[in-house]
Homo-oligomer: A and B are copies of this chain.
Amino acid sequence: MSSYGERLAAVTAARGRLCVGIDPHRSVIEAWGYEFGLAGLEAVARGMVDALGDVVAVFKPQSAFFEAHGSAGVAVLERTIAAAKAAGALVIVDAKRGDIGSTMAAYADAYLSDSSPLAGDALTVSPYLGFGSLQPALDLAHATGRGLYVLARTSNPEGGDVQSAVRADGVTVAQGMVDAAIAANEASGQGAVGLVIGATHSDAGCDLDHFNGSILAPGIGAQGGTIQSLAGIFGPATDRVLPSASREVLLSGPSVAGLREAVARLQLV
């Protein structure tokens, strides 16, 4: 079994580091010429994979836009994940799950086990209940060769209320997530634990010099981040960044040529 870190290194070496978000918002579905509903949801999500599955390293479907259509929408997410994997891309399911104990273990079963139709290659997780609460997901990710992306410093301004708060040991909440991720990756040797850090700040808001996993950086394009600004934000860790663009790519569709041109424009190399 290959680790998530190994598979990510291989696919990004071949295809570049751009992560493409699949965010089938109502406005996107309508811009593609469909009515808002299940058929339009599936047309956009599958259209993205059909157009880009052979050139994009990582897709990041956003679970919320599927859940908004109920369980039938979640079934579309399952089919989208399967199609992206079949095309040779990796899938980060952006669901920001987080809970404790047996409930966290159930989320891990849903998104990180070999038998689940909702399992991609990695999952975004939310640590309001503490990094330690994520342990069942870490354990299963390590066991199945999958990855986690832990929210650390997000791209929205109001995130600072939590993420810049200072713990009793003097480090910020965000830095505490970085430090815990470093320790988890050192212990496993797998590089399974990544971080979510927005690409819209003037700096990353935490010290990433020793970070040893990958960094998912949403906010390229519609949220105001640019590929060119990454080095200024992430410094020496820039090589670990997966810049993620969603709306800017989605709104270049449904034309296959338009979608592929948008990806080519946004690739780092």
- A-to-B contact residues, CB < 8 Å: 23, 25, 62, 64-65, 67-68, 70-72, 74-75, 77-78, 96-104, 106-107, 109-111, 116-118, 126-133, 151, 154-156, 158-168, 172-173, 176
Contacts and interface: CB of A to CB of B under 8 A. Distances in A.
A164 B167 CA distance: 7
A110 B70 contact: yes
Contacts of A25: 102, 106
Among the interface residues A109, A126, A160, which one has the most CB atoms of the partner chain B within 10 A? A126
B130 A160 contact: yes
A109 B73 CA distance: 13
A165 B161 CA distance: 10
Contacts of A111: 67
A129 B162 contact: yes
A77 B67 CA distance: 12
A73 to B, nearest CB: 8
Copies of this subunit: 2
Given A67-B106, A67-B107, A165-B165, A100 B130 contact: no
A258 to B, nearest CB: 21
Nearest to A111: B67
Contact of A129 (B78, B116, B118, B159): B159
A129 B196 CA distance: 11
Contact of A128 (B71, B99, B102, B127): B127
A156 B101 contact: yes
Among the interface residues A100, A132, A176, which one has the most CB atoms of the partner chain B within 10 A? A100
A64 B110 contact: yes
Contacts of A70: 74, 78, 110, 116-118
A150 to B, nearest CB: 10
Nearest to A70: B117
Given A67-B118, A71-B74, 11 more contacts: A23-B103, A25-B102, A64-B97, A64-B110, A98-B98, A98-B126, A100-B156, A128-B159, A133-B156, A133-B159, A166-B166
